[in-house]
Structure formats: structure tokens, C-alpha cells
Amino acid sequence: MTNMLLPTNDWLQIGFRLVLALIVGCMIGFNRQQRGRPAGMRTFMLVSMGAALFVMIPLQAEGDSSYAATNALSRTVQGVASGVGFLGAGLILQESSGKSLRPKVRGLTTAACIWIAAGLGAAIGCGLWQMGLIGGVLTLIILSGFKRIHRLFQIITGETNRKNGQESVIE
């Protein structure tokens, strides 16, 4: 049985990874919350930190076999990715309002953000904090900057969208 007491250096490393995962999740969650989306800062912070925690468990409990730790880590990452997929699915399918009983599809971007927040948290939890930070910044650039680029593209190409029975160039 392995010693469950961790050296001081491990405590600092664990704390750094968890706090950084919280910060990255908070950045993405703040963006979604500012846009009035169903999942906000707390949700994204918890998803990102939870993913970091899950991947850190096999890393801390590796014991004598690095092969066993790698195998366990691989299964953990797969489990986190598919588990968070269910959470994202809940954000996408919401009950429609009005007379229709069909669910409406909304929130694809927020669901993708939940998934990416888990991926970033997992990367940070594995010690790849640079990857997590760069991925977080790129995610924010996509969320804030690419909508403007998409609108500009619609104007240039004359692409229109039908919304409420009217044609509009910009959503």
C-alpha cells in the first residue's frame, strides 16, 4: 500500500493545477454568463476543476508501474470526455415553449464550451498547464472575435438568415 501523505511539493503542485483549472473555467464561464447562456461561471469552474481532479487521481496513485498509470489515465480521460458529453447534451436539448412538444436545439456553442472546459481542465490536471492556458485564450478569442468575423462574412457574401419570418443579414 502506498503512503497517502503527500510531500509538500506535491501539495503545491496539486493546488496550482486545481486553481489554474478553476481560473480557465471561470474565464470561459464568464463569457457564457455575460451572454445570458444557461451555464455560467460556477458550472464551467466546476467542470474544469472536476476534470483536473479526475486525471490527477491516476497520476498520484501510479505506484510502481508507469504502464498501469498511463492505462488508467487514458481510461479516465475517455470517461471524462464522454461524461461531460452528457452534460453538454442536457444544455442542447431543452423543452420548447408554446404548443409544440418537440424539443428545440439550442446551446451548441455552450455545450462545446463545456466540453472544451473539461479538456482544458484535464490538460492542466496532467501538468500540461501551458496547453491549458493557450487553449483557454484561443477559446475566448473564438467566442468573442469569430462572431464578428462571421457577421462580416455574411455582409460581404450577402448571406441571409430567416428569423421570425423576416430576412436579416445579421443574426
Beta bridge partners of 168: 161
* Separation between Cα atoms, residue 72 and residue 105, nearest integer Å: 35
Residue ranges, the chain, pLDDT below 70 = 1-6, 8, 62-69, 94-103, 160-171
Helices (DSSP H) in the chain: which residue ranges? 8-34, 41-60, 66-92, 108-125, 129-157
Q: What is the pTM of this model?
A: 0.78
Report which DSSP code applies to 160: -
Handedness of CA 77, 57, 31, 163 (dihedral sign): positive
Q: Are 59 and 71 in contact (CB under 8 A)?
A: no
- 118-144 pLDDT, tens per residue? 999 999 999 999 999 999 999 999 998
Pairwise CA distance, residues 54 & 68, whole Å: 16
Predicted pLDDT of residue 100? 65
Q: Count CB neighbours of 96 within 10 A.
A: 13
Burial 63-83 (b: 16+ CB within 10 A, else e): eeeeeebeebbeebbeebeee
